[in-house]
Every structure is written in C-alpha cells, then in structure tokens.
C-alpha cells in the first residue's frame, strides 16, 4: 500500500513525543509510547463483539488465561465457552482472546493503515517499506497471563482499557531463544518458548495504562500479566525487508542443521543476513519448480 494515499485521521494517534521516542529506539530496542486511541468507537466492547462474531472462527483464538509464565501450547486449557460468551463474561471467566488479522474487515483495515501511516516515515528511514500490515485485538480477563513467547513482526501494542505489565527480554539471546526454536517457529511451530525461572532477571517490565503503548522488536521474547481489570489492547504490526531476510536465513539454517551442520545464527539489525537468505530462496524456488514437473 502507498501509505501517502490514506485519508488523514482528524486527531493523530501518535504525537511528536511518541514519534521521537520511536525514532530513537527503532528497530532493536523496546520503548514506551503515548497514544490517543483509547476512546475510538471501533474499539468499544460493543464494536468488538460485532467484529468477533463477523470473523472466521479460525481467526478468533481464545482459551483459559490463569496460566504460568511458561507452558507447552498443548497444555493450555480451553475455556469451554463460545466466542460471544467469552466476550460477554470476560470480566469473570479467566479468559484470553485475540481477534486476528482485523484488516480482513475493510473498516478496521482503514483504521490500521491510517495509524501505521503516522509512523511510516520514521520506519521507512531505517528499515525501508512497511510490508504485510496486520492488526490484532486482545481482550483479557483480570490477572490473565500471556505466556513467554515471541512474535515475527515489528509490533506496537496500544493499551486501550485496563492495565498490564509486559516484560520484554533481549533480542538475539541464544540462551532465551536458541536457533532450533527460531527454526521450529518458522516451520509452523507455536510462538510459545521454553521458560526457565533464571530467565526472569533478564526481562525489563513495562507497565501500560490506557493511552500508553509499547514498541516490541521482531522476535523479542516477552510475556504479559494483566492488571486487576479487564484489558483491551490493539496490536499494529508490519514486516520489513530485514525481518524477511532474517526469517529466510533461519530457514536456511534449519536445512543446514538437517545436513548435520551447526550453523551460526543470523545476526541482528543492521546486519542484512542476505547470503543465507538468498541461498534459501534459490533452493526453495528450485524445489517448487521441480514439484511442478
């Protein structure tokens, strides 16, 4: 999308202070930002209920949220409820819900693109074009825990209702996220990571109240603890050329590991990781072409 073609929002979501903070931190350092989206009508409980019921079931994920920081995905219990019931009783049912890929709805796509357009100049100056713009809305019960995990995108999480603490860990730490974890993740594995109690001291907690946000670097491990009230958060995400190169390099490493080698991990930004990325894409293209014959 050409971000300059958007219709300008009446009130900017991010002020100059937030943009200055993002420019100083992006892309490798988490940072807190202020925003002006907490009272947006598209993010009210009524609007979110309508959105959730209009979405494909596969794009609405929900489960019990009274969880430990580290848990195997197969051990996360279902909450035994449907989508509507989960939302209607979220204050008391110990649940966590995410509405995925809200850009599938034209109205929410416009909201996502308008919001990301405000930060596009700061991002483009460092990592180039913003690609694969996606949005996620999280609705969580009081005290809910989102276990230790990583996400593949550049991400800004905007707190809209309630409070939470997101604890973010250093990117590129092979002890926290070994190469095999990255490779399994890009092969379709779950986002959750193995947790050890000694990891706790390495994290930096960020307290988020309504009107506050946090920028989270690509694949920075983190976990979340909700405060005493129901929480609603909006996650606006994008990909960059660098993030794609890092992903393809990880896939190349997986191939090398299957060949009995112990490949070095891709390096963090600004290292481009192009050699392994291009090698993987050439191999992958050759495989796909052979499959057509």
How many CB atoms lie under 10 A from the CB of residue 239? 19
pLDDT digits (tens, 9 = 90+) for 28-45: 999 999 999 999 999 999
Q: Could you read off the pLDDT of 177-214 as tens digits, one per residue?
A: 999 999 999 999 999 999 999 999 999 999 999 999 99
- The number of domains in the chain is 2
Question: Within this chain, do residues 33 and 85 fall inside the same structural domain, yes or no?
Answer: yes
Interacting residues of 255 by C-beta distance below 8 A, sequence separation 6+: 280, 283
Among candidate residues 216, 239, 262, the one where a domain is terminated: 239
Q: Is the domain of 90 the same as that of 116?
A: yes
Looking at the fold, whether 118 and 256 belong to one and the same domain comes out as no
Task: Looking at the structure, tell me whether residues 62 and 125 fall in a common domain.
Answer: yes
Residues 234 and 268 in one domain: no
Mean pLDDT value across residues 241-249: 98
- On whether both 248 and 235 belong to a single domain, the answer is no
Strand segments, DSSP code E, in the chain are 31-34, 60-64, 95-100, 131-140, 145-149, 154-161, 164-168, 204-208, 212-216, 222-226, 231-239
- Categorize the per-residue pLDDT at 293 as very low, low, confident or very high, splitting at 50, 70 and 90: low
- Are residues 150 and 37 part of one domain? yes
| Domain interval for residue 253 | 244-292
Whether residues 130 and 256 fall in one domain: no
Do 275 and 158 share a structural domain?
no
Task: Please list, in sequence order, all residues whose beta carbon lies within 8 angstroms of the beta carbon of residue 145, skipping any fewer than 6 positions away.
Answer: 65, 66, 67, 68, 69, 223, 224, 225, 226
**pTM exceeds 0.85 for this model:** yes
Reading the block at residue 251, the tokens are 């896939």
Q: Domain check: are 250 and 116 in the same one?
A: no
Mean pLDDT over 280-289 rounds to 94
pLDDT by residue (tens digit) across 120-134?
999 999 999 999 999
Q: Do 266 and 176 share a structural domain? A: no
Query: Residues 260, 173: one domain?
Result: no
Eight-class DSSP state of 268: P
Residue 49 is part of a domain; what is its CATH number? 2.60.120.650
């Amino acid at each position: 999308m050409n971000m300059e073609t958007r219709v300008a929002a009446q009130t900017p979501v991010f002020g100059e202070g937030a943009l200055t903070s993002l420019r100083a931190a992006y892309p490798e350092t988490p940072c807190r930002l202020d925003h002006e989206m907490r009272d947006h009508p598209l993010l009210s409980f009524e609007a979110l209920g309508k959105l959730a019921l209009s979405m494909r079931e596969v794009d609405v994920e929900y489960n019990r949220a009274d969880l430990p920081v580290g848990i195997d995905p197969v051990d996360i219990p279902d909450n035994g409820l449907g989508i509507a019931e989960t939302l209607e009783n979220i204050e008391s049912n110990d649940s966590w819900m995410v509405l995925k890929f809200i850009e599938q709805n034209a109205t929410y796509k416009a909201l996502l693109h308008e919001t990301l357009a405000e930060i596009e100049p700061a991002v483009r100056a460092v990592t180039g074009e913003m690609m694969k713009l996606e949005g996620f809305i999280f609705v969580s019960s009081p005290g809910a825990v989102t276990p230790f995990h990583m996400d593949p995108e550049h991400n800004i999480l905007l707190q809209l209702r309630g409070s939470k603490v997101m604890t973010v860990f250093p990117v590129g730490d092979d002890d926290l996220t070994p190469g095999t974890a990255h490779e399994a993740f890009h092969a379709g594995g779950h986002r959750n990571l193995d947790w050890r109690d000694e990891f706790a001291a390495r994290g930096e907690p960020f307290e988020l109240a309504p009107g506050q946000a946090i920028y989270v670097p690509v694949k920075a491990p983190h976990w979340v603890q909700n405060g005493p009230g129901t929480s609603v958060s909006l996650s606006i995400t994008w990909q960059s050329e660098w993030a794609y190169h890092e992903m393809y390099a990880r896939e190349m490493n997986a191939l090398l590991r299957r060949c009995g080698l112990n490949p070095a991990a891709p390096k963090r930004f600004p290292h481009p990781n192009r050699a392994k990325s291009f090698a993987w894409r050439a191999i992958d293209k050759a495989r796909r072409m052979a499959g057509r014959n």
